[in-house]
Amino acid sequence: MKHALLLIAGLFIAIPVLAAESWTRYSNPRFDYSADVPPGFTLTAESDNGDGATFDAKDGARLLIYGAYVEDGAFAADIRQRIIWDNQKGWQITYEKVTPRWASYSGARGADILYSRAVALCDGSIAYFQLTYPRQTLKAYNSLVGRMVKSLRPAAGCNQAPTSAPAAAPN
């Protein structure tokens, strides 16, 4: 009995280690950024113009990772416009933080949660990830968002890498 309990405890300790190893890295050569993709997400589409990709999970979560050009380096204006667009799509945005080099916002729509993160890139463009997931999986995704926030960054050598800030807990 004692050996069985030790075996079970060992498996529970090993599971997080295995999950940590199954993260993958998405890199985008067009906008020169990269981001970590959590375990359980599968690449389901890449954009025709090369700006990003869509990843889906079996629990209904979706991760969009993409880059965008902005006029005259108007980072904050681009973020605010995207918040407006998400509001128009029915998302109730309950948290937003916009700085000159990074931004995050989150909200809810029905039974779904939205978390969006953006970072300024070296050439004045922006890299984004937008994660939507079922509210019932909130705790599981809260534990992933922090790593995703830290991982979204310009390619190595960019001297304008955004200052990282802790992710606010989505609703």
What pLDDT is attached to residue 157?
63
All residue ranges of the chain with pLDDT < 70 are 1-21, 73, 157-171
pLDDT reported for residue 123: 83
> Do the domain assignments include residue 69?
yes
Tokens of 39: 């375990």
Instruction: Transcribe 132-161 into DSSP letters.
Output: EEEGGGHHHHHHHHHHHHHH-EEPTT-TTP
| Position 127 in a domain | yes
The boundaries of the domain holding residue 57 are 24-154
Residue 17 lies in a domain: no
Q: What is the DSSP letter of 89?
A: T
pLDDT at 145: 96
Residue 161 covered by a domain:
no
The predicted structure's pLDDT at residue 132:
98
The answer as to whether 14 is a domain residue is: no
CATH of the domain at 145: 3.40.1000.10
Residue 115 included in any domain: yes
Does residue 163 sit within a domain?
A: no
- Tell me how many domains the chain contains: 1
* CA–CA dist 150, 45 (Å, integer): 24
Asked if residue 114 is part of any domain, the answer here is yes
